[in-house]
């Protein structure tokens, strides 16, 4: 484990989090704790509020009410929404990663793969060109992108490669928490499997915490230890991932689980 923290204290504490779009509910009264090294899956159909929740807990969207506490690197718990804009941006650049469903939302498409990875390092103050390039090379290797593609732009990459590049860009600064929004959405099944396996290995090796939004229960089963099921903006069931999937309690969860195609 490269991340050293007190695992007994939550990394993130969410209480009664609500976001309203006017009169419409985005997410309502959501509470959970995320501990260091834990992967939490948030599942539900489109419109269930899972992406709104992800955006609220990652401070990309203002909350309407409730609190999101985060354990800073020095161990202090901080209310995210009380941070200054500069502090919040610093968190996003250093301590957090955000993997978007569409890699184009998380990459700079008009600069090289190496620059996409190196840029995050420069944003945290690294200036030595050789070291930055070396780190970029190392990370491209870890996400299985060949060395000789380092100077190519992501526009020339396949969908799966772009997604792996986005992951490298996010992990190069050694974040403690990664938010993922449908990280395998839109990819071919074989490409998905490779990405999932890669993510699973990285999360394990680095001791990362992650919140993964997905509508794909197989992705949740493979990546997460705990799961929350959302419907109409609320959490309707939560627990160990394999228990929620093997012994679902809520009518809606039973419907979701029974709708999986068996292969």
Partner 1 sequence: MPHKLILDDVAKSFTLHLRDGITLPVVAGVSFHVGGGECVVLGGASGAGKSSILKMVHGNYGVARGEILVMHDGSQVDLAVADPRTVLQVRRRTIGYVSQFLRAIPRVSALDVAAEPLIRAGVDADAARDRTASLFARLNLPERLWSLPPATFSGGEQQRVNIARGFLPDLPILLLDEPTASLDQRNREVVVAMIAEKKQAGTALLGIFHDADVRDAVADRVIDVSQFAESPLAA
In the region spanning residues 7 to 26, those forming contacts with partner 1, defined by CB under 8 A, are none
**Contact between 65 and partner 1 (CB under 8 A)?**
no
Task: Choose between 149 and 194: whose C-beta lies nearer to partner 1.
Answer: 194
Considering just the CA atoms, what is the radius of gyration of the chain in Å?
Answer: 18
Q: Shortest gap between Cβ of 189 and partner 1 (angstroms)?
A: 10
Task: Choose between 151 and 197: whose C-beta lies nearer to partner 1.
Answer: 197
Q: Shortest gap between Cβ of 71 and partner 1 (angstroms)?
A: 16
Task: Choose between 52 and 192: whose C-beta lies nearer to partner 1.
Answer: 192
Task: Choose between 202 and 250: whose C-beta lies nearer to partner 1.
Answer: 250
Task: Choose between 105 and 197: whose C-beta lies nearer to partner 1.
Answer: 197
Q: Are 63 and 14 in contact (CB under 8 A)?
A: no
What SS3 string covers 111-152? CCHHHHHHHHHHHCCCCCHHHHHHHHHHHHHHCCCCHHHCCC
In the region spanning residues 113 to 172, those forming contacts with partner 1, defined by CB under 8 A, are none
Q: Where are the alpha helices (DSSP H) in the chain?
A: 50-57, 85-94, 113-123, 129-142, 159-171, 189-206, 217-223, 241-246, 251-258
> Segment contacting partner 1 (CB under 8 A): 14-22, 55-63, 65-73, 240-248?
240-248
In the region spanning residues 217 to 236, those forming contacts with partner 1, defined by CB under 8 A, are 221-222, 225-226
> Segment contacting partner 1 (CB under 8 A): 79-87, 177-185, 195-203, 209-217?
195-203
Q: Shortest gap between Cβ of 124 and partner 1 (angstroms)?
A: 30
**Contact between 200 and partner 1 (CB under 8 A)?**
yes
Nearest to 239 by CA among 225, 251, 253, 257: 225
**Contact between 6 and partner 1 (CB under 8 A)?**
no
d(CA 121, CA 125): 7
What SS3 string covers 189-222? HHHHHHHHHHHHHHHHHHCCEEEEEECCHHHHHH
Helix (H, G, I), strand (E, B) or coil at 95: coil
In the region spanning residues 35 to 64, those forming contacts with partner 1, defined by CB under 8 A, are 35, 38
Count of beta carbons in the 10 Å neighbourhood of residue 95:
18
Q: Are 178 and 39 in contact (CB under 8 A)?
A: no
Binding residues for partner 1 (CB under 8 A): 35, 38, 193-194, 196-197, 200, 221-222, 225-226, 239-240, 242-243, 246-247, 249-251, 254-255, 258
């Amino acid at each position: 484990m490269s991340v050293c923290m007190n695992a007994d204290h939550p990394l993130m504490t969410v209480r009664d989090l609500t976001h309203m779009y006017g009169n419409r509910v985005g997410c309502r009264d959501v509470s959970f704790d995320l501990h260091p090294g834990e992967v939490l899956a948030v599942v539900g159909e489109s419109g269930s509020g899972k992406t709104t929740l992800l955006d609220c807990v990652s401070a990309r969207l203002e909350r309407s009410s409730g609190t999101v506490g985060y354990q800073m690197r020095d161990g202090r718990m901080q209310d995210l929404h009380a941070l200054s804009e500069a502090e919040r941006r610093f968190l996003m650049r250093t301590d957090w990663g955000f993997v978007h469903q569409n890699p184009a939302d998380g990459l700079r498409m008009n600069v090289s793969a190496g620059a996409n990875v190196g840029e995050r390092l420069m944003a945290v103050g690294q200036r030595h060109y050789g070291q930055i390039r070396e780190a970029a090379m190392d990370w491209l290797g870890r996400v299985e992108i060949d060395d000789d593609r380092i100077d190519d732009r992501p526009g020339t990459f396949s969908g799966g490669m772009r997604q792996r590049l986005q992951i490298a860009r996010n992990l190069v600064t050694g974040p403690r928490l990664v938010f993922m929004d449908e990280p395998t959405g839109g990819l071919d099944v074989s490409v998905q499997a490779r990405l999932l396996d890669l993510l699973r290995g990285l999360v394990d090796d680095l001791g990362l915490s992650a919140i993964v939004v997905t509508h794909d229960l197989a992705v949740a089963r493979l990546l997460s230890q705990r799961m929350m099921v959302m419907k109409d903006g609320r959490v309707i069931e939560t627990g160990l991932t394999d228990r929620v999937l093997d012994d679902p309690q809520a009518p809606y969860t039973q419907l979701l689980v029974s709708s999986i195609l068996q292969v």
